[in-house]
Structure 1
């Protein structure tokens, strides 16, 4: 599966700072200082109802991570999946009378278009669950043969007790886990499971549903969590720098994925940092596919909204914050974009070297994008109010905003 084209990232003078970021597993801020190549895995979409503002906010956060690392003169090895076969996708296709593969392909193509418009840097490896199945099957077999998984009426389940570190990502108690498992695709009440929290690794073929050859597992399809584990281990290995996604993935998805990987390899941890973006609401409720209260990037673009303004609206909130999308937020972003473009359109201006460092400092401090925007705002206000004579300043500001915030002026 191919990703989307990359926009050019301008080089800035000097060198950026190492990233300090909140880690869900340690529940504190840690400093990440990768080697020459930083490694990041971000969980991708299940391709229906793409791309809503909640999606965009999440991928914007991890785009900032890439930009901070690139500014430190590192390479970035970024991997993202597409869950192009799963119960919610099949249910949507059935509801709408569509072929599930056509639905997945169409929505994935739309997602690519939106990511391109928003100038999100693409992953080096963009892998669908279906194409990952040949690598998933042997992992499930290994877990089963090692006693870390068991069969139940043809399905294969992972035993959470096989990982002594289980629970270390989300830090939830058993009852909270059980409730979230039921809410987020698990089956804690299924009779015969060793532990209600045990997640499915391989679902035996069901009538009328797609299935693939699973070798000794029989025909079926993979569970949700093992999909990302297989892709991450194949392309990044263990102890990569960041496992990322929305805060609703901390449990069960990232918790279970970490346990799968740790049981498979005997190594700990799967990722050095588990980083989670906040949820976006609309009209007082979390924006979600199930509720249907979605604002789509493509719809905003079709209505004439500049993608750079959409990106500024996302950047005006800290990535870990839960917030609500409103028309006023978008209007403020449109106005900010106009002010910034007017300021850098002047032939000269006030010096901007200090601004570069302010933006770097803000983003290295747990991706504090609102502080970065405020720094640019201050420069813009002085630029508009003062006659400067630095001919290089407007261009430097444009390159800084582009390179570090992904906004083209």
Structure 2
């Protein structure tokens, strides 16, 4: 059921997008005029927050209309909509692990220095970098990276749910511009204004940004050492416990109801909880919280303090879990002992790429062949399944791959 507030917000966003893209020249002109009026009105707020008139003018030079794609992207956040196995399969896989290990070697000297300075495990930082921008690859894509000022102004003007957030971040973005750490043409970010290799929102940048390479600028867009050190600084200042893990995969006692909340590892052991790899827990006095993101039929975890510190980066259990699991595998640990409770037989990343290639050859898919199963891939799989008389569940399964290989 959609609340009246949510419905009104969607109507407003749809109307804004329609004015720009569908309503004709009169509608576009009216929308642009209102947006330009908003920009003029916001100037007083910015100046009273410490932004100079020259910085404000520089920030909004060339920003003439809202970005309709920002409003469309704001409607979909995979951390809260994808099933846990789908979210993890797209982010913790052979490709991300291999690339993480390559980056560990490439930046070994810097990672060692960052670990020494901030006490945050290098593999956690590599996993965050992977999650945020695929080790910087996403920053090369014009269809993803956007003008940060325009994106935030769009949300501030046209998205009531995010307007307060966007106004605050827009002021912070202009403060970054004012410091000279980055020039106007390179002040780019995600649709929500997240910046650089490790995707910091502007206020977090101002709070945690680090000049690790010592060139006088905190440049998380072009300096990998600055970006990784900035991520480490955020985690440290939010309570990261050096030398400790984020959590443990565990096996639960069959048929026994377990309590919620935080308990010591020793207390969990008394209840029959053991590590999935058979090893002993290193610290019985450490406190942990039980998480079963896919129900008791899927993998179970005892999450320690560092798991919740990771959520300061992105306040979603799936995100923090993906970072932890990917970090462990980059470090050389095996994958999960208990697989996710998927409703299909999974395939490898390479096989998913093969599936996408077959779907493209057959005319069902026109997206990127990267093994990541998003909306367009699921729609293509579903269309193929319907054509073949299969259950149209849209899953990248061994069963679908077997059928499509015969076509």
TM-score bracket, shorter-length normalisation: under 0.3
Q: TM-score when scaled to structure 2?
A: 0.27
Greater relative CO (CA pairs within 8 A, separation 6+)? 1
Normalized per residue, the structure richer in strand is 1
Bigger Rg, structure 1 or 2:
2
Normalized per residue, the structure richer in helix is 2
Q: TM-score when scaled to structure 1?
A: 0.27
